Amino acid sequence: MNQSSDTDRSGQPECFSRHGGGHKATPGVHFTVSVVLPAGGTGERTGLVTPKQFCTFLNRPLISYTIQAFERLSWIQHIVVVVAEESSALMRDIVQRFQHTKVRVVSGGATRHRSIFNGVQALDTGESGATPDVVIIHDAVRPFVEEDFLLEIAMAAKENGASGAIRPLVSTVIATSSEGYLDHSLERGKYRASEMPQGFLYHVIYQAYQKCSEFDFDFGTECLHLALQHAGTKAKLIEGPPTLWKVTYKRDLAAVESIIKETLCGSACVTFDGSERSRDLGRCLQKVMGSFDMEVDVLPELIGDASCLSREWNFIQLCVNGSGLSEVEETVKSLQAANRALLHPVVVVWVRLDTSDGMSVSETGAGPLLLMELASAAKLHNILLYGIHFLLSEEDTGFSDGSVKRLAELTYTLIHDRNAVLAGQMLHA
């Protein structure tokens, strides 16, 4: 069923890791669960030529983020992605490039329900007992679904036959007359918006689709209603978190990128060259960047520590006077070897603390050129390398709050924005 080889990706951050990567098997899930992701939409409401599920964020398409939200969970068995026939080759390329190992790509139908049924049928391999106990159906353009809520949906589906996410209505629903006048309004407190994900016992959703009419296939929009109408199964409704929102309009694309960046800049590792000044600067950065809600660890070195490279970290390397680029180069090579930047860019910030009164290597020598060459090579592997020159007079015995704050703000901005254009630049704090 897999479209790509099971390449080791243990070095990925936990929030985007391969199945199991940091997540223990969930107690209580003693049944099989698979997922159907309908992804055949054209994205007309975004006004873009590219369907929104294939729009890229940090060099990675949206559909890949949604897949990873499920694939990282040990209790999810298979994921069927249903796409338009003309997008099949593109989707298989995405699966291979980002090493999604639980995914099968199938072609969709002319309507959403025909596509979902194709996905449900694809989970039946014809082998006895091979179908999953529970099927979760989810929109390909809802990438931020959380494990706790998925677990609620799966457990409720196993117990009740069907389950679905709901959210409170934010606007009053009104009915209009044929002439365009207000006819009546609904009492908002009695109604909820139906959302995804939705869960079903396999035989319930399969039976519902088998009994669907052509009208259901062409005009139906609600899987839960089909389960009620054709399988007699009442769904358990569970209020979901705000993160279930769906990418619908062009403005939503900017929100997706912002959320992804916020997720990726939550932690960093500061390493220093063993000197007392770089160690003290690292501790000052740890304190200030902590006020930005970034968790910062300070270590004397990184090279050779595989566990450090696998952590959900960005990397800040401090050195005094000497170039320190050889250590940075070793870090970059280690990140490449660990395949750490497969799913998103990893940031490495080289901070050169300069205590000389004259012109420094970072200003006039080979430092900037070597940094740019190293950054250009690193960028090919999705690693973004930046340099910061932090000048301190030899007479200064400590670091002023203002100077450390400027350095921390610049470093945080580089980690948050992940601007590829600035990679290789020597900035000044």
Q: Which domains does the chain have, with CATH numbers?
A: 14-258 (3.90.550.10), 265-428 (3.40.50.360)
pLDDT band at 45 (very low <50, low <70, confident <90, very high): low
CB 292 within 8 A of CB 412: yes
Name 170's Cβ contacts closer than 8 Å, sequence gap at least 6: none
pLDDT band at 391 (very low <50, low <70, confident <90, very high): confident
Which of 109-113, 149-153, 217-221 is least confident? 217-221
Query: What's the CA gap between 29 and 133, in Å, rounded?
Result: 11
Query: What's the CA gap between 190 and 166, in Å, rounded?
Result: 12
Q: Find the mean pLDDT for residues 87-100.
A: 97
pLDDT band at 395 (very low <50, low <70, confident <90, very high): low
Q: Is the pLDDT of residue 362 over 50?
A: no
Which of 237-246, 356-365, 413-422 is least confident? 356-365
pLDDT band at 312 (very low <50, low <70, confident <90, very high): confident
Query: What's the CA gap between 143 and 157, in Å, rounded?
Result: 21
Q: At what angle do helices 401-417 and 276-290 cross, to 10 degrees?
A: 70
Q: Find the mean pLDDT for residues 251-275.
A: 92
What are the residues facing 36 on neighbouring strands?
A: 80, 137
Top pLDDT among 257 and 25 is at: 257
Query: What's the CA gap between 217 and 207, in Å, rounded?
Result: 14
Specify which of 53-67, 212-226, 288-302 reaches the highest per-range mean pLDDT: 53-67
Residue 6: predicted pLDDT: 38
Query: What's the CA gap between 384 and 376, in Å, rounded?
Result: 9
Q: Which residue has the tokens 């398409």?
A: 61
CB 38 within 8 A of CB 47: no
Nearest to 256 by CA among 168, 140, 341: 140
Q: Which amino acid is at 381?
A: H
Mean predicted lDDT score pLDDT of the chain: 87
Q: Find the mean pLDDT for residues 127-155.
A: 92
Identify the helix (H) or strand (E) that includes residue 88: helix 88-97
Q: Is the pLDDT of residue 360 over 80?
A: no
pLDDT band at 354 (very low <50, low <70, confident <90, very high): confident
Q: Is the pLDDT of residue 358 over 90?
A: no
Q: Is the pLDDT of residue 13 over 70?
A: no
Q: Write the secondary structure of 246-269 as one string of H (helix), E (strand) and C (coil).
A: CCCCHHHHHHHHHHHHHHHCCEEE
Helix locations, 294-386, DSSP H: 306-310, 325-337, 361-364, 367-379
Q: What is the pLDDT of residues 99-113, one digit of tens each?
A: 999 999 999 999 999
Residue 397: predicted pLDDT: 60
Q: What is the pLDDT of residues 291-311, one digit of tens each?
A: 999 999 998 875 555 666 667
Structure-block tokens of residue 324: 């320190």
Identify the helix (H) or strand (E) that includes residue 114: helix 112-122
Work out whether the CA dihedral 167, 168, 171, 173 comes out positive or negative.
positive
Neighbours of 72 (CB within 10 A): 22
CB 81 within 8 A of CB 37: yes
